[in-house]
Every structure is written in structure tokens, then in C-alpha cells.
Amino acid sequence: MLQQVPENINFPAEEEKILEFWTEFNCFQECLKQSKHKPKFTFYDGPPFATGLPHYGHILAGTIKDIVTRYAHQSGFHVDRRFGWDCHGLPVEYEIDKTLGIRGPEDVAKMGITEYNNQCRAIVMRYSAEWKSTVSRLGRWIDFDNDYKTLYPQFMESVWWVFKQLYDKGLVYRGVKVMPFSTACNTPLSNFESHQNYKDVQDPSVFVTFPLEEDETVSLVAWTTTPWTLPSNLAVCVNPEMQYVKIKDVARGRLLILMEARLSALYKLESDYEILERFPGAYLKGKKYRPLFDYFLKCKENGAFTVLVDNYVKEEEGTGVVHQAPYFGAEDYRVCMDFNIIRKDSLPVCPVDASGCFTTEVTDFAGQYVKDADKSIIRTLKEQGRLLVATTFTHSYPFCWRSDTPLIYKAVPSWFVRVENMVDQLLRNNDLCYWVPELVREKRFGNWLKDARDWTISRNRYWGTPIPLWVSDDFEEVVCIGSVAELEELSGAKISDLHRESVDHLTIPSRCGKGSLHRISEVFDCWFESGSMPYAQVHYPFENKREFEDAFPADFIAEGIDQTRGWFYTLLVLATALFGQPPFKNVIVNGLVLASDGQKMSKRKKNYPDPVSIIQKYGADALRLYLINSPVVRAENLRFKEEGVRDVLKDVLLPWYNAYRFLIQNVLRLQKEEEIEFLYNENTVRESPNITDRWILSFMQSLIGFFETEMAG
């Protein structure tokens, strides 16, 4: 029965009525029941943390997911849509550390891992009700009742299985590498995590002299923005193929050596210096210099305080003479290892504390402490006559993605997954995926894959899936556990939970006469867990083996462009390592939703309107349409403007409503005045000679055809 349509409409109120209808008749579950025996369309939903509220980025990605999965259902497929939750890792621990005032491992030891993890468990789902409310209010159909959580024992067991497959294939190793290190969270980060949060910072810029032993009137000049690493200097490095010069500094009257292409770093005018000699960097190889400090004079017998050569030294910055502190720089570490100045088990480190005293504990140096140490070092260098110039320098620097504190680089013993030897296979599998936009596949993601580094999967933390390695004291005997049953058999204990407090105390008898094997203390990087979600969400291979294998890889995933160095990457690495194939067939990548001024949305700055208030004011459809009809769906950034949502209401939804109202008015007039019942008959319409009817039908079919082509990719 057609009814008169009111002149005015409140879109948010109408949406609420529809939501009530869906709930009353359980429409989403009914659709799933009706499509149960149809072909499957597999969709993976990337798990968010429930320790924060949903923002516009989540709303955008959720809208894309809802559109594609609804279309797949309407096209004759069965589409399971399970919501997932990321429950472990730094985001949760950092919140607890802030709340409880925990400053380091000693504080956790005092309260005990059991209590610490209980505190983490208590806040994991802090905002789950708000998530469910907001996502449902947006009209998205997703299964919250049949969700997956990374803290479920079944999920964690599948993560163990994934790891054991990698271990058995020889893809896991323990090594010491210079890694990005979060001092606030007291743990190393993976290379892709360290690229997620760069900021422009102002650091000291110092030029330091290194007098040659053969003639102390001649000094090499090195440049650094981290003076606090200078006490750990063991060598300097030059490019063997570049041109270097010996000059006389006119103002200072000193003889200096640096790369000719970098003279402009020290001098504004050519008249400020006089070139005395030119020679390639190789000429400097092996020359000895006087150390800045005496802390590691004993290393001299291993070849320390020598000029090394390597092509990593570039002509774009500095002086072409690079100070080598192997504990704090990846290239420094590699070069000093190549020249046998250091060994893996002997890493000289001598950072400085706030009072200017030297210590061997680098994790004390975050934020203000580093700044104070820098001042102390610069003062000492000046007193010793080794400081040539000290200024400041603005550059882009990585910050911890969770604590928002500057990262440092330091050599850390960690567990790694070999990625570098599978780069070609990663690139091939990437080419098998259909990306929207395609440019992301070729450029941003493809370029990232070409330079992929071995993945640091261990974290020196507590609230996470424990790495299932039981080792002897000398690390020569290692047992990798791949299931709960295997651990129960080897340990003799009954196991119901896999968190640290439940498994750390378990031991395994040695098969080599080495006593008892103990679990290593580290937990998995939470990205390893989210990368394992295709298998872990269905407890593969312990359950649902055939169902999973028939539906893998996924037909579709969608997330923001920041996931090219996050979830997209870890999914691809693990699927390639496990099965030699990509984890998904199609992926839509959205750009970032920024504040109206182009800045990152910030709760602290309050530079964006609350999403819930926007939905209440204009309705979810207006917000969804605003987002989906913007450049953000082509991986470009969107400056969110409330007026844009209002304009969708004014320029799209209201004209559509008025057109519908006009139709209903005429249908009712037809019935009343001419007593003709309006019944739509497709066959009658197709045969209509009316040119307007034919144009409307043609336009509609063109629109449907265009839509089907676009959705088919």
C-alpha cells in the first residue's frame, strides 16, 4: 500500500527506524541463513584495538567493506562478515604503564606478570560497546556475536602453529641487529613500525675533528646529529670512490679533510678555505686517528679508531666522513663487523646520562635525558678542542607509533623471520593481487617490498602471545612448540591459557643432557598476530581445515594506506612463507582522513567534529556518501569538512527524496482521479512507446552496467 509521503523528512530518525526493523527481524542473520549454500565470497576484516574509540578512518574503511560485501551477497554469494579485535601488544600495555606509573621491567617484576596481564586484560574491551554502537548505527552489517579476538586461546594456538611452520622451514633465527628501539615502551620495533610516525624535529648539528696519528695537525671532519653516541665511536667511514680534499681553513688556520662535494656544509664562500690536495676516499683507508674519548682504547688492538671505506657514504649530507658507533647505527654495525673491529658478542656502548656521567644503560636516554647528554658531550668536546662547529638541524625523525616518543637505534638481541630471501616471491604474489588504486601496488607497496628487511617478531613485553621456543641455557638446544597438545605432552602439564603467566614456568626435559629447557621471555609482535588472522580466526589447522583451504585466499580486504607497511605487508609475508601464494585477491586502499586544516586529527587539539554527533545531525547515509564520493577512496587524503556532509544531504539526499515524493503524489492522484491502480509491470514498461519511459530505462540500465563493471574490477 502506497502512503502519502510527508513534505519534510528527518533522515537520522528514518535511519533509526530502519535499524529497529533490521533488529526486530534479525535481517542480517536471516540473509546469512538464506545464502548458506551459495558460493562463498571470503572477506577478512582487519582487527582494530578497542582501547580507543572509532574515528573517521575506521568509518571510511567500514563503509567500503560494507558496500563490497553487501554487493557480493546481492550478487549470489554467501559472505561471512566477522568482526575482529586486536587485544595484545603495545597499545594496551602503554595505557596500563601510564595508568599505573610503570617505568620499566623492575616495576612489572614487583607487581608480577600475572597481575600486570590481568590489568591489561581488564581494559582490552574498554570501548567495545561504543564500537558496536557506532558501527551498527552506520548501517554496516557485521557479526559481533561470532567475533574473533587475538587473546582467545584458539587464536593464540594457531599463531603458534604459524610460527612453527616458519621455524621448521628455517625462516626463524636469533640475531643481534641495530634496531629501532622505543625507550618509552622498552622494546625493539620492526622496521615497518618505525616508518609509521615521522616528525620534523630540531637536533644538535655538530662537526667534530679526528686528528690523524701520522700528522696530528691534519684532522678528518665528521658530522652528527647525535652527539650522545660519540663516546661509543670506534671508527670513521668514507666513500672509496668519491673525491676528498685536504684544505686549509682560512679563519681557523687548521688543516682539515672532508669530501669535496660537501665543502658547502661547512663554508659559505670558496674564499673561506684553500684546497691543498685532492684524492679518492680509498687513499684514506686504514689511516689511524686519535680517539675522541679513552673509554675503548682496548679496542684499538682489534683495529678500532681507523678509517674504513664503504659505498653507503653519500654526498647528500654531512661531510662525507661518517662517525661509526656500531651499537647505535645499522650501517655502522655492518661496516665495523666487516672490518672485524667488533664481534657479535662484544658491543662497546658508552652513552651518557643526564649528569654527564658515562653509563652502559642506553634505555635511560629518552627525551630530555638525551638532550642533557648532548649538551654535556658538546661541552666536553669544546674543552678538548675537538669541536669545530655546533648548530641545530631540522630533519624528519622516527617516533614510536604508540608512545609518540623519539626512537633510538641500538643493537638488540632479537628473533627474526627471514624476509630478504623471499623478496622475489613477495613481488610475484603481489602482482597476482588486484589493487585499487593500482598505483599503490606498483609504487608504494611494491617499492616497500623490494627493500623488505628481515622482520623482528620478538618484543620484550608481557601482554601478548608468548613465542613458543623452549631453550637450553646456552641456546644450543631449541624446541619449537606448535600446539597445546605438544606442550602438554612435553611438559606434562594441563594447559587452558597460553599467556605468559600460564606457560613461563613450564619446562621441557632436554634430549641432549642439558637439564630443563625454559621458554624464552619474549612475546610476539602484535603485527605477527594480525598477519596470522586468516588462519587463527578459524583455529586452522586444528579445526575448519577444509573450509579454510576452500576459501583461501580471501576474495577481498580493505584498509587505509598506512597498512601498506602494516597489515597488508604481514598478511603477504606469512601467506607467502606458509603457502607460497597471496593472502587476498582484491584490495581497496583508502587514503587518510585529515582535519579540515590538513593536519592529523587530534583529540588533544579538538580539530574535528565528533563522528557520533555528525551521524546524529545529518544521518549515516550522508556521512557514508560524503566519504565514498571523495578522493579518499583513491588512496588520496581527504580534509574532512562538516559542510561536505551537509552538502550531500542538501544536494543529493533531499532532491532524491523530493523526486520520490513527487512520484508518490502522482501515483496517488492517478488512483484517486482516474481510479487506475498503479502496478509496476516490467514487460509492459519494456514495450512502452513513450520516449521518456525509454530514456529512463536506458539510463537505468547504463547505470547498472557501469556499476557492475566497476564492482567486478
Give 548-566 pLDDT, tens digit per residue.
Answer: 999 999 999 999 998 988 8
Catalytic residue among 45, 66, 80, 86: 86
Annotated catalytic residue 527: yes
- For the chain, give every domain's residue range: 11-167+592-646, 192-412, 468-521, 651-712
* Contact of 292 with 381, CB cutoff 8 Å: yes
Q: Which residue has the cell 615497518?
A: 192
Q: State the sign of the Cα–Cα–Cα–Cα dihedral 33, 37, 43, 48.
A: positive
In this structure, of 520-529, 542-551, 603-612, 652-661, the range with the lowest mean pLDDT score is 603-612
Q: Which of 299, 345, 332, 336 is nearest to 229 (CA)?
A: 332
Higher pLDDT, residue 602 or 99: 99
- Which of 98, 344, 600, 605 is the catalytic position? 600
End-to-end CA distance of the chain: 39
HEC letters along 354-410: CCCCECCCHHHCCCHHHHHHHHHHHHHHHHHCCEEEEEEEEEEEEECCCCCCEEEEE
CATH superfamily of 192-412: Valyl/Leucyl/Isoleucyl-tRNA synthetase, editing domain (3.90.740.10)
- Catalytic residue from among 527, 553, 583, 611: 527
626-661, pLDDT tens digit by residue? Answer: 999 999 998 999 999 999 999 999 999 999 999 999
Known catalytic membership, residue 567: yes
Query: Catalytic residue at 455?
Result: no
pLDDT tens-digit map of 573-602: 999 999 999 999 999 999 999 999 888 887
Confidence of residue 349 (pLDDT cuts 50, 70, 90): very low
Contact 183, 413 (CB under 8 A): no
Q: Does the annotation mark 693 as catalytic?
A: no
Q: Could you say which of 110, 545, 603, 605 is catalytic?
A: 603
Residues 227-236, mean pLDDT to the nearest whole number = 90
Length of the chain: 713
How far is the C-alpha of 519 from the C-alpha of 458, rounded, in Å? 13
The whole-number pLDDT of residue 600 equals 86
DSSP structure string for 323-359:
EE-TTT-HHHHHHHHHTTS-BTTB-----B-TTS-B-
Cα–Cα distance, 506 to 567 (Å, whole number) = 32
Active site residue 294: no
At 397, give phi and psi (nearest 5°).
-135, 145
User: Which pLDDT does position 352 carry in this prediction?
Assistant: 33
Q: Which of 48, 80, 567, 611 is catalytic?
A: 567
695 is catalytic: no
Is it the case that residue 370 has pLDDT exceeding 80? Answer: no
- CA torsion 301-307-308-310 (nearest 10°) is 170
Pick the most confident of 149-153, 297-301, 338-342, 393-397. 149-153
* CA dist 291 → 164, 237, 281, 323, 666 (Å): 47, 14, 20, 11, 93
The structure's pTM equals 0.82
How far does CA 183 lie from the centroid of its chain?
A: 18
Spot the catalytic one: 45, 47, 401, 410. 47
Q: What are the backbone angles phi and psi of residue 456, rounded to the nearest 5°? A: -75, 110
Q: Which amino acid is at 565?
A: R
> What is the rounded distance in angstroms from the CA atom of residue 454 to the CA atom of residue 172?
10
**Predicted confidence (pLDDT) per residue in 677-689, tens digit:** 888 777 777 777 8
- The amino acid that residue 397 corresponds to is Y
Q: What percent of the chain has pLDDT over 70?
A: 93
- The torsion region of residue 425 among left (phi > 0), alpha (psi -120 to 50) and beta comes to alpha
Question: Is residue 85 among the annotated active site residues?
Answer: no
Exposure of 542 by Cβ count < 10 A (0-12 exposed, 13-18 middle, 19+ buried)? middle
For the stretch 375-429, pLDDT in tens is 888 999 999 999 999 998 888 888 887 778 888 887 778 899 999 999 999 999 9
Is pLDDT of 277 > 70?
Answer: yes
> CB under 8 Å to 583, separation ≥6 — which residues?
44, 534, 552, 553, 554, 571, 572, 574, 575
Q: Which fold has domain 11-167+592-646?
A: Rossmann fold (3.40.50)
Give CA 577 to chain center in angstroms.
Answer: 20
Q: How far apart are CA 177 and CA 331, in angstroms?
A: 10
pLDDT at 506 over 50: yes
CA 396 to chain centre: 18
